[in-house]
Amino acid sequence: MNPPVLQFVWRGEIVTLQNVPPTRTLLQLLREDLAHSATKEGCNEGDCGACTVVLGELQDGQIRYRAVNSCIKMAHALNGLALWTAADLASSEGAAHPVQQALHQCHASQCGFCTPGFAMSLFGLYQNTVLKDLSVSRTQAQEALSGNLCRCTGYRPILDAAEQMTTLPRVNLDETRLRQQLASIAPANRTQEAACSYDAPTRLDALLAARAARPQAQLVAGCTDVGLWVNKLHMDFAQVLDVTRVAELRTIEVQDGHTVIGAAVSLQDAFAALEADRPQLHAFFNRFAGLPVRHAGTLGGNIANGSPIGDSMPLLIALRARVVLMSLRGQRELPLEDLYTGYRKNVMAADEVLAFIRVPLPKPDALLRVYKVSKRCEDDISAVCLAIQLHMRDGRITEASIGAGGVAATPVRAVQTEAVLTGQPWTHNTVDQAKMSLRNAFQPISDMRASAAYREQLLDGLMERFWLERQGVPNTSLTSLCLEGENT
């Protein structure tokens, strides 16, 4: 099978490439095929941000800008989009962009290796805030730079630069011309062979047909994990089926008392939809990887991946979310926790895809807390993630939902502990019984992130913390929020 033609806008022109292998990453395309060295290769696994680029996509007549990690982005995912790298910010006459000026004026670069990535994350922030007459706070800048690591300069001058760029004369892109270019190469306007090596259908029926015809093809969405398989495990796939262009799977709607999120909706957009109903989740969502990963990754991909330390699943389990699986044979719906059968294994048939996630709207009496315990505040994987949702009436627990990650081979629902809590008075004795039930429910393992004994102690400590917070005890963290979890 031949790879499809790849078209994107770069440096003001439409670039057309042939014969790009299906598992070629965007970083490889830039550095090796196009001899473009401005974008750096650091960790090659989406953790350091040195390879950050900005992509522009035409949505509802407007251009949306997203900073992503090029090292784990498949090159063909660039089709129909616009691309900017650190070498593309200066004007054609050589005048520095406000992002570059600010980094220079604030002495925000030392060795310079990570600087291209920081510049591109700031460029994305600039396009989405400064040019829309929105202010940039230091907190916003820190969130925008959450996927970029610096090893020598230090973050203070970089954050200074984020604030400084807002005071400099503005530089606007020619969006009118760019919209025209993107519209002319939009994937929906193009035809390609039905059996090409990288297939990105734009309709749900076409996706289901392709899945039925080629069940052996590797499904991809944001590639935040498949990209690691390619880079670190040197895996190759003869056929790739990309779900992220399917229009029906990119929607968020409210239906029958549920927020229904398409599987191809980015993590950032899915989290924003959930946060709109539950604003207390903001801090937890910002600790999910870094912003470039949340821009690229999808909620459906995170769920289907089935990692026991995928942070979205414990929360969704506690919210009683359900998933919709679809194929040409029909569809079925099941609780999220019933999707998994073992470590990274699930009940999906070879011709099925995860299509939608249905999350119940919050009830007025819901008490929700989510705790993420990791060694770093941001851009880190959980040792334990615990989500607890209780409904109470007259001092008695009427309903309990608990999801946990990092304590078993799959994300799990603590059914026994829920039973221990349901119908009981909200007392410390009830909490003690719940703690004992949690200890007995799981058999966590020891790995590089934490020992089994530590994870068991965390379950105890987080349940105790939940009790203390409900009693109004402030600052229940024993050391720091980074180590003890984020109170949401």
pLDDT for the residue 475: 65
CB 222 within 8 A of CB 298: yes
What phi and psi values does residue 19 have, to the nearest 5 degrees?
60, 35
With a cut of 70, which residues of the chain have pLDDT below it? 188-195, 475-488
The span from the first CA to the last CA of the chain, in angstroms, equals 49
Contact 384, 462 (CB under 8 A): yes
Interaxial angle between packed helices 155-164 and 115-128, expressed in degrees from 0 to 180 and rounded to the nearest 10: 30
Query: CA separation (Å) from 163 to 120, 133, 149, 185?
Result: 15, 14, 19, 36
The per-residue pLDDT for 485 is: 38
Q: Which segments within 225-352 are labelled E, that is strand?
A: 240-242, 252-255, 258-262, 322-327, 330-335, 340-342, 345-346
Contact 391, 363 (CB under 8 A): yes
User: What six digits make up the tokens of 15?
Assistant: 């670039």
Residue-range domains of the chain with CATH? 6-87+174-242 (3.10.20.30), 92-167 (1.10.150.120), 248-360 (3.30.465.10), 366-484 (3.30.390.50)
Q: From start to end of 239-291, where are the E strands?
A: 240-242, 252-255, 258-262
Q: What is the pLDDT of residues 47-72, one digit of tens each?
A: 999 999 999 999 999 999 999 999 99
Interior angle at CA 443, CA 339 and CA 271, nearest 5: 45
**Residue in 472, 267, 280, 297 with CA at minimum distance from that of residue 388:** 280
Which pLDDT tens digit goes with each residue over 432-460? 999 999 999 998 889 888 999 999 999 99
> Are 444 and 455 in contact, with CB atoms under 8 Å apart?
yes
Taking a C-beta distance cutoff of 8 angstroms, is the pair 373, 483 a contact? yes
Do residues 320 and 335 touch, judged by C-beta distance below 8 A?
A: yes
Measured between alpha carbons, how far is 291 from 308 in angstroms, rounded to an integer? 21
What's the confidence (pLDDT) of residue 187? 83
CA distance 400 to 413: 11
203 phi-psi bin (left φ>0, alpha ψ -120 to 50, beta other)? beta
3-state helix, strand and coil shares in percent for the chain, rounded to the nearest 5: 40, 20, 40
- How many alpha carbons lie under 13 Å from residue 405 in its C-beta half-sphere? 28
> What is the pLDDT, as a whole number, of residue 449?
86
Mapped onto helix, strand or coil, the DSSP state of residue 405 is strand
Instruction: Look at residue 93 in the predicted model and tell me its pLDDT.
Output: 93
In this predicted structure, what is the pLDDT of residue 378?
Answer: 82
Instruction: Give the whole-angstrom CA distance, residue 47 versus residue 308.
Output: 19
Over the range 383-398, which residues count as b (16 or more CB within 10 Å of their CB) and which as e?
Answer: bbbbbbbbebeeeebe
Residue of 116, 166, 122, 113 lying closest to 144 (CA atoms):
122
Listed in sequence order, the residues at least 6 apart from 177 whose beta carbon sits closer than 8 Å to its beta carbon are 12
Q: How high is the pLDDT of residue 312?
A: 97
For 484, the enclosing helix (H) or strand (E) is helix 481-484
Residue written as token pair 């992130």:
449
For the range 464-471, what are the long-range contacts, defined as Cβ-Cβ under 8 Å and sequence gap of 24 or more? 464/431, 464/435, 465/371, 466/369, 466/371, 466/388, 466/431, 467/428, 467/431, 469/369, 470/367, 470/426
Nearest to 311 by CA among 359, 239, 382, 400: 382
Beta strands in 278-352 (DSSP E): 322-327, 330-335, 340-342, 345-346
- Starting at the earlier edge strand, list the strands of the sheet with 322-327: 252-255, 258-262, 353-360, 322-327, 330-335
Helix (H, G, I), strand (E, B) or coil at 124: helix
Measured between alpha carbons, how far is residue 322 from residues 281, 333, 465, 480 in Å?
A: 19, 7, 28, 34
Q: 346: which 2 tokens? A: 């699930």
Would you say 126 and 167 are in contact if contact means Cβ atoms under 8 Å apart? no
> Can you spell out the DSSP letters for 7-20?
EEEETTEEEEE---
Assess contact for 31 and 37: CB atoms under 8 A.
Answer: yes
Q: How many residues are present in the chain?
A: 488
What is the bridge-based pairing of β-strands 340-342 and 240-242? unpaired
